Structure 1
Amino acid sequence: MPELTSRRRLLVLAICCMSLLIVSLDNTILNVALPSMGRELNASVSGLQWTIDAYTLVLASLLMLAGSTADRIGRRKVFMAGLVLFTVGSLLCSLAPSLDLLIVFRMVQAVGGSMLNPVAMSIITNTFTEPAARARAIGVWGGVVGISMAAGPLVGGLLVDSVGWRSIFWVNLPVGLAALLLTWRYVPESRAPHPRRVDVVGQLLIIALLGSLTYAIIETDLVFAVIAAVALVGVLLYEPRRREPLIDLRFFRSAPFSGATVIAVAAFAALGGFLFLNTLYLQDARGLSALEAGLYMLPMAGMTFICAPLSGRLVGSRGPRLPLLVAGTTMAACGVMFAAFEAETSDVLLFTGYVLFGIGFGMVNAPITNTAVSGMPRAQAGVAAAVASTSRQIGQTLGVAVIGAVLAAGVSLGTGSPAAFVAASRPAWWVITGCGLCVLVVGALTSGPWARGTALRCAGRLETATEGGGGGDGRGVGRIPDV
């Protein structure tokens, strides 16, 4: 990538953030629209789960393929293709006549979305090469998630209440087209000097693993659980034998990198479950309109908006430990408030819980991204960013699947009143509490001196293997900083 001026780098960051905005906005708006969508399309709880998980599942399955493809044929080219597909998919979703077709069109959106966030992150990584500047840029990137959370419920509520749920997909059209034109005009093309080869078998194993695992959880199907286990074994046995695997398992010898992956899954599982539970509670149990439900969620969105850039600055100046500890503590505290103290029964407790979750989610995003990208070769920035993005999507997919299944198991208690919903959802809140504790414990274990030592040793072994031709990809690895 040619050297860019400071103003041009900021413009590239803004364009990349536009892609994150429409993808994140799409998720938050969709959650607000779920009850209205369910009534019109006569969807069950599992049907509503699939409108979310069909998207996140396809996204998670294709992210690493999209990242490596972008490294190979050009990041700008793949990014623009993703914008086209995502925009077309959004239009199709707005026209869907049935739940089944809506799910199919959501999958079209996901194919486009898989070419956006990880590729945008690799563009940012190659644009902001200085570690502190990159951390600040990632903080801005995380702040866009906060903007989407703040705007999503309000915009979605207004659209659902005034025009109908189909209009929530229209928001993506002007933003997607604007981002496409700006990318064509201002984002320079870049690619890895020696990109990895396509790993067809590895890609198929990943699709089989994620798809069967999600189906097994939502539909309680033992056969698909066995398929998921077999696919996992296949990944563990096949990938290390490839010279250029889809997932280089050696990177998981770095505790910070492995920790970032686990934390991403736990944090985004909590997010997926949190949004799913609260959307159904506020609208179905309390009887609020979509706009009123969006207003109720503002404390969480506002704190995410405030804390995300703050977390980026903390990671850049002090490392990821403090943001991760704060994130794990506040997310777990939020779960306990709902599970043990029935925070839904009091607006004061409800809003307190929302504030705590917003702080936690705002703090967790920047450490995940910075640690994962820093611990991987910069030449494979697309794959590196895709690993972090894949972990997020896996987490959100599993969060909606598991918590939706837990809620469905208790739905016989009835969800026609707030008290009945509180009773049915209590086990789900304990799951969210467990996710917060996982962020706290894993964050503490993988951000200290011992973890930094494993990262440095991992980098040294990979460099030695590369120099000696012992199964490396011939490209070496970037320095893993003291994070």
Structure 2
Amino acid sequence: MTTHTLPADSSRRRAGLVLAVCCLSLLITALDTTAVNVALPAVGRDLHAQVSGLQWTVDGYTLAVAAFMMLAGSTADRIGRRRVFQAGLALFTAGSLACSLASSLGWLITFRVVQGLGASMLNPVALSIITHAFPDPRERARAIGLWGTTVGLSLAAGPVVGGFLVASAGWRSIFWINIPVGVAALVFTAVFVPESRAATPRRPDPVGQVLVVTTLTALICAIIEGSRRGYTSAPIIGLFVLSAAAAAVLPRYERRREQPVVDPAFFRSVPFTGSFVAAVAAFVVLSGFLFLNTLYLQDVRGYSALHAGLLTAPMAVGIALASPLSGRLTATHGPRPPLVAAGLLITTATLALTTLTPTTPWALLLTAYVLLGIGFGLVNAPITSTAVAGMPRAQAGVSSAITTTARQVGNNLGVAVLGAIVAARTRAPVHAGFAAASHAGWWTLAVCGLVIAVTGLAATTRRATATAARVAARFPAESVPSVSSTPRVRRGAQA
């Protein structure tokens, strides 16, 4: 009996260390996403950036993540998940160092893109590593729940940590913090994370990847630059047409490929499609809220970056409380209750902000922040669980990458669309008219909350679940995963 118990305990400990390393990578990428928002006014003053420049500071990063995440997932399944994960950590850490040294807005945006390329290799690959490290469905569900909790907590802590760093050491310090954490994650990955690959390697799909990049890049460029150049100008109309054309060609081309970078068959699963839509809507809310609220608190209400970060702490508390609850609710009652509750709470919070003025009472603001935090905290676990559970393990890298890409698409759209709405209504964020100009943005976020609630109802019916089973049956099972049983270091100890 002892000989069977010890290896099982050792395997659990090793899986727990793998989970810790993956959560560490998620921590720095998610923290960086939200922390930068608090620094935007300081970046604008130091580098003389307009609203569109601030949008690109955020969207340069998230656009690179969204555009290349699916490529990273399929590449990791083919050449090795640990190898791609390590490359992502190295690139993200180097990009963080370069961002901290940027001498102009153009260089900062360029280095943010480098950061984004590194981050695109981390989160979906890490989720795939977790899926293979926990073969037992119950343990895997708990691990994914902890992963979702890490998402919520790191995103919530970003504004507070960012505000503290900006106030104490300037906006460049936001990028310094990534460097020691990234180096530590690299070391731990080499020691604890086993290599793994899909049993059937996926072939590259360069045309599909180009179509994905074209669709997203042209769309975001058109939205951001349209507020400055005019949406009826020829270049902006051309970008919209280019994005629409690439989006129309993509599924038609991918259907003819045996191993596409984006398999349209995945979207025949209603739960998978629902998780994609809910992820986009949820992260439109988060990124849009952080962008508008940061400018409102600092440029309209006159608070420092530190005070602005601390004032959003109620949202962080809401996320911290709701994230673990969401994991338990999803495990015991399924994804419907947390998704519907999240959508309704987000809608209520953002509707309260549609009357925002330069003197809005703090009781209203703090109540909205708490409700928004609870709503967002509830949404991550059911999205992740639904997306991964509906797909075969052989497609873990690509399916998780698509859903994580949806989050980044939401991040892109939130900043691009809401920034464009505000820029079209006021020339400068510091003007008192910014509060009124943001009303349309808050209405947009309220609609996103309703989308999440409706999706939670529609994607969790028995008929919807049956579509997921039919899609999973289309793919061959990964009967013998090509996974190293031991980490590269400490192999002798395991023997």
Give the TM-score taking structure 2 as reference length. 0.91
How big is the shift at 1:457? 3.0
Partner of residue 375 from structure 1, selected from 390, 397, 403:
390
How big is the shift at 1:147? 2.7
1:253 and 2:286 correspond: no
1:438 and 2:451 correspond: yes
Partner of residue 243 from structure 1, selected from 230, 237, 258:
258
1:364 and 2:370 correspond: no
8 Å CA contact 2:28, 2:178 repeated in 1: yes
1:153 and 2:167 correspond: no
8 Å CA contact 1:143, 1:309 repeated in 2: yes
SS at match of 2:196: coil
Name stretches of at least 5 consecutive residues in structure 2 with no aligned partner: 1-6, 227-235, 482-495
Alignment length, in residue pairs?
A: 465
Partner of residue 204 from structure 1, selected from 199, 204, 210:
210
Which residue identity lines up with residue 430 of structure 1 in the other structure? W
Provide the residue aligned with 1:329 in structure 2: 344
1:423 and 2:436 correspond: yes
**Identical pairs, percent:** 57
Partner of residue 184 from structure 2, selected from 141, 153, 178:
178
8 Å CA contact 1:146, 1:302 repeated in 2: no
Partner of residue 466 from structure 2, selected from 436, 453, 458:
453
Taking the aligned partners of 1:229 and 1:280, their CA distance within structure 2 comes to: 31
**Cα distance, 1:132–1:38 mapped onto 2, change above 3 Å:** same
**Cα distance, 1:343–1:446 mapped onto 2, change above 3 Å:** farther
Partner of residue 402 from structure 1, selected from 417, 421, 426:
417
Deviations 1:90-149 (A, max 9, x none): 000000000001000001111110111001000111112233322221221122233323
8 Å CA contact 1:264, 1:388 repeated in 2: yes
8 Å CA contact 1:76, 1:183 repeated in 2: yes
Taking the aligned partners of 2:469 and 2:358, their CA distance within structure 1 comes to: 44
1:278-357 pair list within 5 angstroms: 278-340=293-355, 345-357=360-372
Deviations 1:162-203 (A, max 9, x none): 211111100001110111101101111111111211001000
Taking the aligned partners of 2:370 and 2:300, their CA distance within structure 1 comes to: 21
8 Å CA contact 2:166, 2:173 repeated in 1: yes
8 Å CA contact 2:85, 2:122 repeated in 1: yes
Using the TM superposition, name which of 139-148 and 19-28 deviates more. Answer: 139-148
1:211-222 pair list within 5 angstroms: 211-220=217-226, 221-222=236-237
8 Å CA contact 1:160, 1:168 repeated in 2: yes
Partner of residue 66 from structure 2, selected from 40, 54, 60:
60
Taking the aligned partners of 2:62 and 2:439, their CA distance within structure 1 comes to: 25
Name stretches of at least 5 consecutive residues in structure 1 with no aligned partner: 467-473, 479-483
Which residue identity lines up with residue 457 of structure 2 in the other structure? A
Provide the residue aligned with 1:469 in structure 2: none
Provide the residue aligned with 2:489 in structure 1: none
Provide the residue aligned with 2:230 in structure 1: none
SS at match of 1:294: helix
Taking the aligned partners of 1:415 and 1:29, their CA distance within structure 2 comes to: 19
How big is the shift at 1:64? 0.7
Taking the aligned partners of 1:85 and 1:457, their CA distance within structure 2 comes to: 39
How big is the shift at 1:340? 4.4
8 Å CA contact 2:300, 2:435 repeated in 1: no
Taking the aligned partners of 2:23 and 2:358, their CA distance within structure 1 comes to: 34
SS at match of 1:165: coil
8 Å CA contact 2:301, 2:358 repeated in 1: no
8 Å CA contact 1:195, 1:380 repeated in 2: no
Partner of residue 275 from structure 1, selected from 270, 287, 290:
290
Provide the residue aligned with 2:3 in structure 1: none
Which residue identity lines up with residue 162 of structure 2 in the other structure? G
1:113 and 2:108 correspond: no
Taking the aligned partners of 2:151 and 2:256, their CA distance within structure 1 comes to: 38
Taking the aligned partners of 1:120 and 1:458, their CA distance within structure 2 comes to: 24
Taking the aligned partners of 1:34 and 1:123, their CA distance within structure 2 comes to: 34
Taking the aligned partners of 1:415 and 1:381, their CA distance within structure 2 comes to: 43
1:389 and 2:404 correspond: yes
Provide the residue aligned with 1:231 in structure 2: 246
**Cα distance, 1:459–1:185 mapped onto 2, change above 3 Å:** closer
**Cα distance, 1:82–1:371 mapped onto 2, change above 3 Å:** same
* C-alpha RMSD of the superposition: 1.9
Give the TM-score taking structure 1 as reference length. 0.93
Deviations 1:210-261 (A, max 9, x none): 0001111111211100000110111021010111111111111111011001
**Cα distance, 1:245–1:324 mapped onto 2, change above 3 Å:** same
Deviations 1:302-322 (A, max 9, x none): 111121121112111211000
1:48 and 2:54 correspond: yes
Partner of residue 39 from structure 1, selected from 16, 38, 45:
45
How big is the shift at 1:341? 6.8
8 Å CA contact 1:415, 1:424 repeated in 2: no
